[in-house]
Structure 1
Amino acid sequence: METDLNGGMPPRFVDLKQEIASSYPDFEQRATKAWNEILGALEEVTKNIAEGGSESIAQVNFSQLDSLTPSKIEMIKRKGCVVIRDVVDDAEARGWKDALEEFIKSNPDVEGVPADNKQFFQLFWTKSQVLARSGRTPEGVDLSTPLSYADRFRIRRPGIRWDVHPPHVDGGAIERWQDEHFRMCFADILSGDWRAHDPYDLEGRLNARSSLYGRPNQSTVFRTFQGWLALSETAPTQGTLKVFPDVLMSNAYLILRPFFRPRVTEDPKALLDPENWAFDIATPEFPGIFPRDGGFAGPRPTPALHPHLRLEQTMISVPAVKPGDMVFWHCDVIHSVEEEHTGKEDSAVMYIPAVPSTPQNEAYVKRQFDDFVKGVGRPEDVVNLLGRRAMGAPVEVM
């Protein structure tokens, strides 16, 4: 059954919109001015992204991270996504993939999807995963005290259609507006000063509640960047990651979108005209947010609900990667997985996010390590001091 992404929100969310509007002086005037500016800026931004293709995504070598120029750093931050080459030796990464394949071959009953041809595995503590998390310090995060939490891996087979990860944003749905701390992250956008929005400002993020409704499979750690390590060669059209590479523009648009409705809906071209949009806080809809599992999922932008993003042209596949390369994307970046895998070999990645040291995250990794040593993992597989610190091991274990 297709999910209704533009309806079914409870009437009480009218009150939420009006509460937000009353929190900012001259909200209607300032939001309308900002909305029109954002739509104008998106016209140029989306054109450049579509023309640039995979070259729109930043690429650096692991050995160059200490010598990046300020302009390169600012470019990476604006795009919100980066490919980091040669983080792990190719042979070592391939060896981890071989070990994963042997494990799932020896344990055919492990949980995975799709059920009839498992490719995305609900496994967190295999030796390969523990070695990969603890043997290297992933970049793109706070390097002073990086922490890591357990995540899964995928080994995607060629020719299998994959439609379970359309364009979306992780880490909180209606919570972005409903939770007061989370809303603080977007205060500049809501006040009309959208160009001043800093997606990397920690104020609000540290105490933001991204799961108010206790939905299953919701992350409760604070993630700055999501990421994966390539275990095979994968190129565009071969089942790889796609992103909208401008986190400032996508945040500005998505956060203000609920406060405007189209005056016309039949003409797709007319939808792009700012004159055909009206300020609206009398309806409960938050386009791209939808009820699920007793709470709300999303944001899931679509061409119909978010036409100015031009998602058909601007969801860009990351460049070709080799085993040992890593890809990181900001927690607010719109991302998806290619539906088609036209290659001849597996497209395999291991998800290895890293998180900064915060009280919330310190408590999480401590609970995680306690579970780890209860039998689901072997402490001796955590191979170095930084790795043990990242995994939440107590000092005496180090």
Structure 2
Amino acid sequence: MPPRFVDLKQEIASSYPDFEQRATKAWNEILVELEDVSKKIVEGGSESIAQVNFSQLDSLTSSEIESIKRKGCVVIRDVVDDAEARGWKDALEEFIKSNPDVEGVPPDNKQFFQLFWTKSQVLARSHPNMLAAQVWANNLYHIKSGRTPEGVDLSTPLSYADRFRIRRPGTRWDVHPPHVDGGAIERWQDEQFRTCFADILSGNWRAHDPYDLEGRLNARSSLYGRPNQSTVFRTFQGWLALSETAPTQGTLKVFPDVLISNAYLILRPFFRPRVTGDPQALLDPKNWAFDISTPEFPGTFPRDGGFAGPRPTPALHPHLRLERTMTSIPAVKPGDMVFWHCDVIHSVEEEHTGEEDSAVMYIPAVPSTPQNEAYVKRQFDDFVQGKRPADFPKGQDEIGFVGVGRPEDVVNPLGRRAMGAPVEVM
């Protein structure tokens, strides 16, 4: 990392009273807590991840809600009818056959597609149940002060256009190791973003609330204009299953405790191991010393003119015990939805040992905020022109493809509102 990030560490340290003392105390507490949390995650496995039926979202108890929030991940069953979800996948397959030149990877066996405006995607994003699920997810957030800023509405969902995958059995993927999206060095560098983690940095890490909305509204998660870096605030990332997928079949994996992982990742740059060659020593709290003399933010690294990450690894973040704690999502069926909090560490299984495709559409939960509304309005213009949305690398237009979606395909008023369609078009 550039030498100037030493100054960033020192700036942060000077912003909090008794930073070294408080951060060291918090760090030691977090390491002890992580050992216990890790054991519970491993023992629970996939079934420890919250699962709820779409029809039951409004009847969950407060303890069930708190459990979902702590884990930061939930499977919502039966958001869309199985047959409708399967139909969208069939239409995607037909789209790919009708347009063989569409961009996808790997080039010789395309499975992850740089497509945003197929009719299936347009219909799925605007489905009433999909929008309702997003509203529920958005409303897990709150503003501690109780004063909702002007232009913020958690019950008005917006559609963020993303891509889809149809992963074939037997293929190996190693491009999505454990990582966190929605900002890399920005989590520390952007002063507004940093306020989201103020309790951690002040040493009061147990009071950290990953669902406090206030600091996130104007946080800049993309300071360097890197491609594939979301400029929109997504409360949860998400995907809709278009096929049956189970653990070991190329599914999503998560570290299911967003509070403790946030606390660890945010404080990690301020500590270094005294001994590095001994795996057991790396886990010993006594082996770690406070150090702000280097520019490194472990797991964050230069890329595309900016910085990528955070990408925790067993070597750099040993206390997360990622080899055992990264937990596969339970088996899903077509029409099931998976949401994971924007700070959750997640990855994709390298192996797909199943016999059927593992197909999903990426559809996050996005609330109405001034910043998000502005993006979605620009995104609607991209949709009309068949261009890729602004957050993604430039590439081939879709307007000439056979089967591309159009604004008139969306008849649901809420769906059109979510797309950012102008009033006269709605």
Into which bin does the TM-score normalised by the smaller protein fall? over 0.9
More off after superposition, 377-386 vs 173-182? 377-386
How much does 1:397 deviate?
A: 2.1
How many residues align? The count is 389
Change (3 A) 1:87 1:349: same
Distance 1:141 1:304 in 2: 41
Q: 1:62 to 1:323 in 2, by over 3 A?
A: same
Within 2, Cα distance between the matches of 1:138 and 1:243?
32
Deviations 1:180-204 (A, max 9, x none): 0010000000000000000011122
Kept in 1, the 8 Å contact 2:380–2:421? The answer is yes
- Is contact 1:135–1:383 with CA below 8 Å preserved after alignment? no
Alignment of 1:36-185 (within 5 A): 36-133=28-125, 144-185=155-196
Matches within 5 A, 1:285-296: 285-296=296-307
**Among residues 285, 290, 295, which one is paired with 1:284 in the alignment?**
295
Cα distance change, pair 226–146 in 1 and its aligned pair in 2 (3 A): same
1:279-317 per-residue CA deviation (whole Å, 9 max, x = no partner) reads 000011100001111111000000000000000010000
Larger CA deviation: 253-262 vs 113-122:
113-122
Contact kept, 8 Å, 1:138 with 1:354, in 2: the verdict is no
Measured against aligned partners, the alpha-carbon deviations of 1:234-287 in whole angstroms (never above 9, x if no partner) come to 000000000000000000000000000001011101111100000000011100
Deviation (angstroms), 1:141: 13
Poorly superposed stretches of 4+, deviation over 3 Å: 134-143
| Cα displacement (A) at 1:108 | 1.1
* Cα 1:318/1:136, change in 2 over 3 Å: farther
Distance 2:150 2:284 in 1: 40
Give the secondary structure class of the aligned counterpart of 1:376: coil
Tell me the CA shift for residue 137 of structure 1. 22
In the TM superposition, what is the alpha-carbon distance from 1:140 to its structure 2 partner?
20
CA distance in 2, matches of 1:174, 1:157: 34
2:102 and 2:149 map into 1 onto residues whose CA distance is 27
Q: Distance in 2 between matches of 1:349 and 1:124?
A: 13
Task: Give 3-state SS (helix, strand or coil) of 1:388's partner.
Answer: helix
Correspondence 1:372-383 to 2 at 5 A: 372-373=383-384, 377-383=405-411
Q: Is the CA contact (8 Å cut-off) linking 2:153 and 2:369 kept in structure 1?
A: no
Contact 1:135 1:382 in 2 (8 A): no
Shift of 1:396: 2.4
Gaps of 5+ in 2: 126-144, 385-402
Contact 2:151 2:368 in 1 (8 A): no
Give me the whole-angstrom Cα distance separating, in 2, the residues matched to 1:352 and 1:286. 30
Q: Distance in 1 between matches of 2:203 and 2:108?
A: 50
Looking at structure 2, the residues matched to 371 and 344 of structure 1 have their Cα atoms a distance apart, in angstroms, of 37
Q: Is the 8 A contact 1:141 1:355 kept in 2?
A: no
Distance 1:95 1:143 in 2: 30
Q: Secondary structure at the match of 2:253?
A: strand
Query: CA contact under 8 A between 2:119 and 2:404: conserved in structure 1?
Result: no
Report how far residue 372 of structure 1 moved.
1.8
How far residue 143 of structure 1 moved from its aligned partner, in angstroms, is 5.5
**TM-score scaled by structure 1?**
0.95
User: Any stretches of 5+ residues in structure 1 without a counterpart?
Assistant: 1-8
Change (3 A) 1:65 1:138: farther
Identity of aligned residues (%): 94
Please state whether the residue corresponding to 1:29 is helix, strand or coil.
helix
Task: Give the match's secondary structure for 1:143.
Answer: strand
Q: Give the C-alpha shift of residue 115 in structure 1.
A: 1.2
C-alpha distance in structure 2 between counterparts of 1:13 and 1:286, whole Å: 8
**Shift of the alpha carbon at 1:394?**
2.0
Distance 1:266 1:278, change over 3 A: same
Alignment partners' CA distance in 2, 1:166 and 1:142: 34
- In 2: Cα distance, 1:102 partner to 1:137 partner: 45
When residues 143 and 98 of structure 1 are mapped into structure 2, their CA distance, relative to the original with a 3 A threshold, is farther
